[in-house]
Structure 1
């Protein structure tokens, strides 16, 4: 067996209503003074107040930083870091952006490093503050990953990748996802499925049997649950399966990294402010069809796990059917079917293709080499 490394969040707690135990959980790990990192939507939904009630009941003093925005830019990181000074720990409550900001606030709030010095893989040195992640979407899996994504400049994204920023504890409460809008449930759900797919097929030398097993279980859960979660939002079994599937997919790709789907999605989000999950959904089937020309095996293996009706097909037919089934699932869940639906024109595609080539950290993991002309063709197919 090829040597590999597998890191994940040391403690995971899951259960409906668990948010009401956040106070005692936090006090044991972080002490009696914490920073809560979240966004305005969580305040409007009443989720922040529920968390604050639990924290205050346990005698925990809370500073709330609620200025997180999607695809957080560097000034948000700087402000959250300033708010983290003097606290005993950090809680990230929200979607992937809130948890990503919390990770960096915990790291940089310790006062030993600056953001510019920790970009890239393995550059963070630590220490960091204790960190709890409470996801409110079933999508990014950020609660178990060593990655935080930051928007630099107008549209470029950079990552901080280090096991140091893996949270100490992930608290999964499916009740917190119950009232998500259908389009958010759909887009974040497809994002989580992409994590599992790309982890399983990754060309990374650290692609490993644990990640592949987790990716399979994640797709088994989410392939059956996503449409139900979208169409019947208070189906708590579907919500639970999506939240657990997202976590498992996060564990998978945290150790067997993602590839061209994400590389091509990032410029869409950067230039056109399309949410990350939707950006992934728009290019997913087209990247898989491109990859399946030379590397169909992983997609053929995953096809019947996510979609049992694809059982028994030949390798190429299963791989092709997998891409088609994913596209059909996105459409049934109400997601746009092409780039034009989010305001992208044919004239925009060369810019996207050029920017995608900057995502070398991701493209190196793709099972088929992608050059700029390939990226342009994939975007053209997705138009």
Structure 2
């Protein structure tokens, strides 16, 4: 076995109703002053109000920053960091964008580094403020990853990747996902499945036995649960399986990094403001079919774990059937069938292909080399 490193969130708590224990948890970890980072949509759900009530009853003073945007730009990071002045810790409540912002605020408000200096792998050095992540979607796994994604300029995305920004505690309460709209449940759920699939198949030298085992368990949970969560939103067993599966997939790809699906999804989101999970869903089966031409084995291994009906197929057939079943699952969950369904035309594809080539930190992990011509062909197949 080759050497590897595995980092994850030191403490994970999961259970229905755990949000009501946030006050005591935060008091112990962060002290009596915290910054709560969230987005405008979350402010309308009642979840933030519950959190604030619990925190204040525990004697914790709270500053709320609620201006997080999807695919957060640098200006949001800077504004949230200013709001953190004088606080003893940071709590991120919401989807991946809110938690990503909370990670960077905890770093920048304490460590003295500038945002421009922490982009890339291992550039964030710390120290940072104590950090609690409370996910309200089952998708990004950001509560257990060392990654925060920022939109720079008009459409380019850059990552901060460092174990320093892994939260101290992830609080998973499946009740918080109960009222997610079906299209959000679907897109974020496929996103989590992508994390597991790419982690398992990653060509990263840090692809490891722990990540692969977590990816398998994540897909075993999410394969049958996603459609139930979309169409029976108050099926709390399905909601819990999706939330736990998302976390496990996050742990997997945090240590065995993602690849071409994400590399090709980022330009779709950057230029056309397509949510990240949906961008991944739209390109996923087409990247898998491309990879399966030379590296079908990992997909064949995962196929019967996610979809037991695919057991018994030969390796090439299983790999392609897995891609087909994922595409069909997206359709059954109500997601668009192609890039044209989100306003992308054939004339846009060369721009997307050029921009995908900028994601070298991801493409290097793909099990098959991807050229700009390959990316263009994949986008064409996904149109």
Common fold, TM-score beyond 0.5?
yes
State the partner residue of 1:160. 160
C-alpha displacement of 1:111: 4.7
Query: Residue 111 of structure 2 contacts residue 126 of structure 2 at CA under 8 Å; is this kept in 1?
Result: no
Give structure 1 regions of 4+ aligned residues with deviation exceeding 3 angstroms. none
Please list the CA deviations of residues 16-35 of structure 1 after superposition, one character each: whole Å capped at 9, or x if unmatched.
Answer: 00000000000000001000
Please list the CA deviations of residues 136-192 of structure 1 after superposition, one character each: whole Å capped at 9, or x if unmatched.
Answer: 000000000000000000000000000000000000000000000000000000000
1:54-69 correspondence to structure 2 within 5 Å: 54-69=54-69
The DSSP-based 3-state class of the residue aligned with 1:336 is: coil
State the partner residue of 2:94. 94
C-alpha displacement of 1:81: 0.6
List runs of 5+ in structure 1 lacking aligned partners: none
State the partner residue of 1:335. 335
Please list the CA deviations of residues 101-125 of structure 1 after superposition, one character each: whole Å capped at 9, or x if unmatched.
Answer: 0000000011511100000000011
State the partner residue of 1:231. 231
State the partner residue of 2:219. 219
1:187-336 correspondence to structure 2 within 5 Å: 187-336=187-336
In structure 2, what is the Cα distance between the partners aligned to 1:345 and 1:254? 33
Q: 1:111 to 1:9 in 2, by over 3 A?
A: closer
Please list the CA deviations of residues 232-278 of structure 1 after superposition, one character each: whole Å capped at 9, or x if unmatched.
Answer: 00000000000000000000000000000000000000000000000
The DSSP-based 3-state class of the residue aligned with 1:150 is: strand
In structure 2, what is the Cα distance between the partners aligned to 1:292 and 1:144? 29
In structure 1, what is the Cα distance between the partners aligned to 2:84 and 2:364? 35
The DSSP-based 3-state class of the residue aligned with 1:110 is: helix
In structure 1, what is the Cα distance between the partners aligned to 2:72 and 2:60? 27
In structure 1, what is the Cα distance between the partners aligned to 2:50 and 2:241? 23
In structure 2, what is the Cα distance between the partners aligned to 1:259 and 1:174? 29
In structure 1, what is the Cα distance between the partners aligned to 2:125 and 2:116? 13
1:346-365 correspondence to structure 2 within 5 Å: 346-365=346-365
List runs of 5+ in structure 2 lacking aligned partners: none
Please list the CA deviations of residues 55-100 of structure 1 after superposition, one character each: whole Å capped at 9, or x if unmatched.
Answer: 0110100000000000000000000111112100000000000000
Please list the CA deviations of residues 32-59 of structure 1 after superposition, one character each: whole Å capped at 9, or x if unmatched.
Answer: 1000000011111111001001101101
1:126 equivalenced with 2:126 (yes/no): yes
C-alpha displacement of 1:196: 0.1
The DSSP-based 3-state class of the residue aligned with 1:109 is: helix
Query: Residue 282 of structure 1 contacts residue 382 of structure 1 at CA under 8 Å; is this kept in 2?
Result: yes
In structure 2, what is the Cα distance between the partners aligned to 1:85 and 1:195? 34
The DSSP-based 3-state class of the residue aligned with 2:238 is: helix
In structure 1, what is the Cα distance between the partners aligned to 2:5 and 2:285? 30
Aligned length: 383
Query: Residue 10 of structure 2 contacts residue 169 of structure 2 at CA under 8 Å; is this kept in 1?
Result: yes
The DSSP-based 3-state class of the residue aligned with 2:149 is: strand
Computed over aligned residues only, the root mean square deviation of the Cα atoms, in angstroms, reads: 0.4
In structure 1, what is the Cα distance between the partners aligned to 2:57 and 2:327? 46
In structure 1, what is the Cα distance between the partners aligned to 2:223 and 2:111? 43
State the partner residue of 1:31. 31
Query: Residue 85 of structure 1 contacts residue 110 of structure 1 at CA under 8 Å; is this kept in 2?
Result: no
In structure 1, what is the Cα distance between the partners aligned to 2:114 and 2:349? 35
In structure 2, what is the Cα distance between the partners aligned to 1:356 and 1:180? 30
TM-score of the superposition, structure 1-length normalised?
A: 1.00
State the partner residue of 1:137. 137
The DSSP-based 3-state class of the residue aligned with 1:105 is: helix
TM-score of the superposition, structure 2-length normalised?
A: 1.00
Query: Residue 91 of structure 1 contacts residue 133 of structure 1 at CA under 8 Å; is this kept in 2?
Result: yes
In structure 1, what is the Cα distance between the partners aligned to 2:40 and 2:353? 33
